[in-house]
Amino acid sequence: MNCVLLPYWEKNMKIHRLFVTILCFSLCASALLCSCGGAAGTESGQPSAPDVSEAPGGTVSEESPEVSETSEDPETSAPQPETPFVPVIRFAVASDIHISSASDASYRRFVELFNTAYAYAESDPEYNKLDAVIAVGDLTNKGLAYEYAAFKKAADAGIREGTRLITVMGNHELYEGGALVYLKEMDDTLDKHIVINGIHFIGISPDSETGYSAQSVKFLKEELKAAAEEGGPDRPIIVFRHHHIKDTVYVSPEWYASNSAQIKNALSAYPQVIDFSGHSHGPVNDPRSIWQGKFTAFGTGTLSYFEMESGMSYGTIPPNANNAGQYYIVEISADWRVKVMPYDILTKSFFKTPSNTDGEDETMVYYIDSKKDPSLFRYKDRAENADIPYFADGASIEIYGINENSAVIRFPQAYDGECIYSYDIDCTSSDGKKLHYACFSEYYFEPLAKSIPFTITALADGEEYEVAVTPVDCFGKKGEPIRASFRTVKADEVVYSSELDVTYSGTFTNFDVLPQKDGKPALSRSAGNLAYGAAPSGDVFAGAWDSGESSASACFALDESHGYQGSPCIAVWSTDAENRGLYLLANGTNKWSTAFPAAGYLRVWVDFTDVGFRKANFGLMADDGSLFTTDEEDYRTDQYFWYMAEGADKWERYTHGNDGCFGDQQGSDVHGFKGWLAFPVSDFKYRAGTGVRVESVNNAYHSNTVRGVYMFWDYSEGGKYDGNRFYIDEIGIVEDYTVFEPYDK
C-alpha cells in the first residue's frame, strides 16, 4: 500500500497521541516518515506565535494564542519525533451547499455541519473551540434574496458564539441574484482578508460564470504578499475560492476557473498556501482531492449532490448522487502543522480511507508538515507509486435479468492500496464485436458496498457474450479482470415492412402518404398521450414535455414542400417559449411502420434553418407507452450524435451537452442545420413514470417495436424564434445510419 494516510482514532485522542509518539520514535528517519505517510514530522525549531493585532489592509485580527519558543537550530538539529498535536485554531470548510429553501436536504445538512463540528470540537480536552466555518461558494441555487434568507436561517440555527461564518460567492450566486444581492443579503465584501488566531484567510468571489476579475486577482496577490511578510515562510495562509485551479485537485481538469493560470501563478510563490475550492462536487474522500505542487490545494466536496469526472456509462453524476454531505474539519497547531479531516454528515463520522484494504477503523487524515517546503510535500507524485488493484481469489461475476438486449451483472469490490475507483466492463460477442461500459465503485458512499450491480445494454439478441470486469484505482492503475459468459434471449423474428411508399428500408414515416381530411392529406392532433396513460386519438400529440397535457401552443402541420428533396414533411413550431414535447404516434390510420429488425439508430432529416434551440432531444416510445430519451441521463458528456448536411457526403460528430440534449446552451448549437441527424438508440434511457411496464431507470431502449417517435424542444434564449417553423422528415430506425438502403417491397 502506498501509505499517504495515517490511521486516526477520534474517539480517544489521548490514546491517539500516545500511539503517534510511540510510532514516531520507531521511525527515526524523516525520509521514512515522508515515504510511508506516517505521523507528520515536526521541525525542531518551532516559531513563536505572532502577536498580531491587525491584518494587512487594516483588517482586525482575532487574538492569537501564545506559543513557547524553542532555541534549537532547525538547520543543525536531528529530526525529532512528533509532539502531540494540539490545535491553536480549528475551522470547517464546505462548498456547493445549494440552498433554495428551509425544506432542502442541503439546508438540513448545513445545520448538521455545525452540530457535528461542535461535537467534535467539544470532544477535544486540549482545545474545544470551532473558530470559523468557511462556505466556498454556491451557497444558494440562484443567488436570490429568499435563498440567502434560508441560508442564513440554517447558519443561525447552527452557529454559536465564538465561531465566525465566512463566505464567498460561487457561480450559482450569479445566476439571477448577482453581486449586488450577495452584498445586500449576505456580506458587505466580495473579496476578503481575515485573520483569526494569527492565521490569514484570503477569499475572492467570481465576477462571471467561469472566472475572476483582474481586480480580484490583484487583491489576491497583494494580500498574499502582506500575509507572507507578516507570517513568515511556514505559517499557513488559507486561500478559498469557488472554482478549482485547472489540473490540480480531482475533477479540476474538467471544472476550473477560466483564469486558472493567473491564480495558480499567484499562489505558486507561497508554499505555505493551503487552497480550498469547490464547484465540481467531487468527493472529499477521493485521494486526489488533495494536490500538492508548489502549494497545497483541496477540493471541498458538496452538501448537495456528487458530480465526478467523465468517463462512466451513466455520465458524471452517479446513481444516488443526492446522498452527499461532506466537509472538512481543519486544525493547525502552534508549530504550524496542519491536519485536514474529511467528514461525512450522512454517517456522522470521519471518512475511512477508501482503499478497501485497511481496517474498518482507519480514518482518513491529510497532514501538512510544519516546514512548508515543496520538496518535502508528502502527497506529490503519488500516481507512479500507486498499487495495482486486484480481485480476491475466487471472485466471480453473477449474471441475471437476461433478456433480448440487456443483462445485469453483479461483481464483488476489488481491493487497492489507495482507492478502488471504478470498473471497466467490456462485453465481446462471439463474432468479435466489442461493447465498453464503465461504472464507479461508489467509494464515496460509506460503508463501501460489498458488490456492484450494473446493467449492460445495447446487446444483440440470441448472441453469446463474454464479459470482463477490470478494476481501476484512483490513479488509473488497472488490475487483472474477472470474466464470465452468457447468452441473450433470442427475439422473435422481425421483418421490416411498410404499407406506405417509403424511400429507405427502416422508415418509420416520411409523411408522403397520409389520411385525408376535407379531401387533403392532414395530420390529426391526439387528445391523449400514451406515455402518460391516455389512449391516443390521432397522429400527433403536442404539448407538455413531461406530462400528458396537450397544448394548442405546441403547433404542427403537414407541409407539402419543405421536406427531404422537396417532399412533404411535418412543420413544427410553438407560439410561446415553454418547453414542449412532440409525439408522432403510429396507428392503424396513418399506417406508419412499427417493426424494425435492427434498431441501432434513429435517423431523421431536419431543416432548422430558421430556429435555434436552447435544448432539444429525440427519443422512442415502446408499445406500452414507455418513453426513452437521452434527456434521462443528465450530465453525461459522452453522448454523441451525427450530422450530415444536405448535399454533403461526410458525417460530423457532435456531443450532447451535460443535460442529455443538444442546443446552444449545451455546446452543440444546431441553428441553421439542414440535413440528416442520427442518434444511437442505446443512448435512449427510460423516463420514470411513463408506460405500463415497470422499467429500471437506466434501461436503454430494448425493443424492435416502436410505437412512437418523440422530440423535446425549447427555443434559444439568445434569439426570438417563437412561431418560427422547423421541419422533420424521413424518420427511420436503422442498423447503420451511414447506409441509405432503398426499400423494395
Find the helix or strand (DSSP H, E) in which 472 lies. strand 464-473
Identity (one letter) of the amino acid at 404?
Answer: E
The CATH classification number of 507-631+672-734 equals 2.60.120
Assess contact for 4 and 37: CB atoms under 8 A: yes
Average pLDDT over residues 273-292: 97
Question: Are the beta carbons of 409 and 399 closer than 8 angstroms?
Answer: yes
Query: pLDDT digit string (tens) for 406-416?
Result: 899 999 999 99
- Separation of alpha carbons 189 and 182, rounded Å: 9
CB 14 within 8 A of CB 124: no
Whether 692 and 675 have beta carbons less than 8 Å apart is answered as: no
pLDDT class of 131 with cuts at 50, 70, 90: very high
Q: Minimal CA–CA distance to 712: which of 692, 684, 693?
A: 684
Non-local (6+) Cβ contacts of 463 within 8 A are 429, 430, 487, 488
φ, ψ of residue 442 to 5 degrees: the values are 65, 35
How many residues are recorded in the chain? Answer: 745
Q: How far is CA 632 from CA 80, 147, 313, 687, in A?
A: 58, 28, 13, 6
Which superfamily, per CATH, for 85-385?
A: Metallo-dependent phosphatases (3.60.21.10)
User: Does pLDDT of 591 surpass 70?
Assistant: yes
Which triple of cell numbers denotes residue 279?
Answer: 464547484
Single-letter residue type at 635: Y
Please indicate whether residue 5 or residue 248 has the higher confidence score (pLDDT).
248
Residues of the chain with CATH 2.60.120: 507-631+672-734
Task: Report yes or no: 281 and 324 within 8 Å, Cβ to Cβ.
Answer: yes
Tell me how far apart the alpha carbons of residues 504 and 510 are, in angstroms, rounded to a whole number: 9
pLDDT of residue 359: 81
Q: 237 pLDDT exceeds 60?
A: yes
The Cβ of residue 667 has, within 10 Å, a number of other Cβ atoms equal to 13
The whole-number average pLDDT for the span 677-699 is: 88
**Cis peptide leading into residue 389 (ω within 30°):** no
- What is the C-alpha to C-alpha distance for residues 117 and 124, in angstroms, rounded to an integer? 11
Of 20-29, 525-534, 730-739, the one with minimum mean pLDDT is 20-29
Residue 6 has pLDDT above 70, yes or no: no
As given in the structure block, the three cell numbers for residue 582 are 412532440
> How far is it, in rounded angstroms, from Cα 466 to Cα 478?
19
Domain with CATH 3.60.21.10 in the chain: 85-385
- Domain boundaries for CATH 2.60.40.10 within the chain: 398-487
Residue 71: predicted pLDDT: 35
Distance CA 117, CA 137 (A): 19
In this structure, which topology does domain 398-487 adopt according to CATH? Immunoglobulin-like (2.60.40)
* Average confidence (pLDDT) over 66-70: 38
Q: What is the pLDDT of residue 130?
A: 98
- Average pLDDT on 211-227 reads 97
* pLDDT tens-place string over residues 616-661: 999 999 999 999 999 887 667 778 999 999 999 999 999 988 788 9
pLDDT of res. 201: 98
The pLDDT of residue 75 is 38
- Predicted confidence at residue 82, as pLDDT, reads 56
Least confident of 29-38, 136-145, 617-626, 632-641: 29-38
Q: Whole-angstrom Cα distance, residue 293 to residue 375? A: 9
Q: What is the C-alpha separation between 28 and 79, in angstroms, rounded?
A: 7
Average pLDDT over residues 156-174: 96
pLDDT at 211 over 80: yes
Q: Which H or E run includes 427?
A: strand 420-429
Using a 10 angstrom Cβ sphere, with 0-12 exposed, 13-18 middle and 19 or more buried, the burial of residue 241 is: buried
What integer is the mean pLDDT of 347-360?
A: 90
Give the chain's end-to-end CA distance (angstroms, integer).
66
Predicted confidence at residue 718, as pLDDT, reads 66
